Amino acid sequence: MADSLSKVFRVNPNAHNSEYAARFSSVSAVHLPLMIRQYNHEREYQAFFYYSQDLAMLMEKIYTGFTDFTRTLQNVSNIVLQQFALASLIDEVQSTSEIEGIHSTHRELREILYGETKRAHFSSIIRKYEFSWREVFRVSYRAGM
C-alpha cells in the first residue's frame, strides 16, 4: 500500500512535492474544492482523494464479501436473524457502557430487552438501538424469541 504523504515527507522531505504532484495529477485522484494548510505552514494544498490500486482492490474485496454475505442472508431463517440481532444489540450496548465505565452483564441487558427489569441508563440506551434493529431485522424482543 502506498505511504501517506506525511510519511513520505518525514522520510524524505525532498520527495514530498514530487510525490504530491504525481498523486494529485493521477487519473485515480478525485479533487475537492477545499484548500488545506497545515498548522504553522505557509503553503496551501488542494484537498483530494487518491485511490491507489491496493485500495481499489481492497474495496472490490469488501464489495464481493458484502455481496456474498447478503446472498447468504437471504437463505437464513428469521429465528437465526432474531438471535443475531439480539446478540449484536446486547454486545453493542455492553461495549458502549464499558466505555462509559458502567458495568453490565448479558443477562441483565437481555432482561431489560424483554421488559423483565428496568435500569434507567440501560433502558434508554437499548431503546435507542432497538428501533433500528426492529426495522432492519423485523425483530420483536418481547415476543419471547
Q: Which three cell numbers stand for residue 71?
A: 446472498
pLDDT at site 10? 85
| Cβ pair 119, 112 in contact under 8 A | yes
For residue 56, pLDDT over 90 is answered with no
pLDDT at site 57? 92
State which amino acid sits at residue 140: S
pLDDT at site 145? 41
CA 9 to chain centre: 29
Average pLDDT of the chain is: 81
pLDDT band at 31 (very low <50, low <70, confident <90, very high): very high
pLDDT, mean of residues 64-68: 94
pLDDT band at 40 (very low <50, low <70, confident <90, very high): confident
pLDDT, mean of residues 29-34: 93
For residue 97, pLDDT over 60 is answered with yes
pLDDT at site 73? 83
DSSP string for residues in 17-64: HHHHHHHHTSTTEEEEEEEEE-TT---EEEEEEE--HHHHHHHHHHHH
| pTM of this structure | 0.47
For residue 44, pLDDT over 60 is answered with yes
pLDDT band at 19 (very low <50, low <70, confident <90, very high): confident
**What is the rounded CA–CA span in Å between residue 94 and residue 105?**
7
For residue 81, pLDDT over 60 is answered with yes
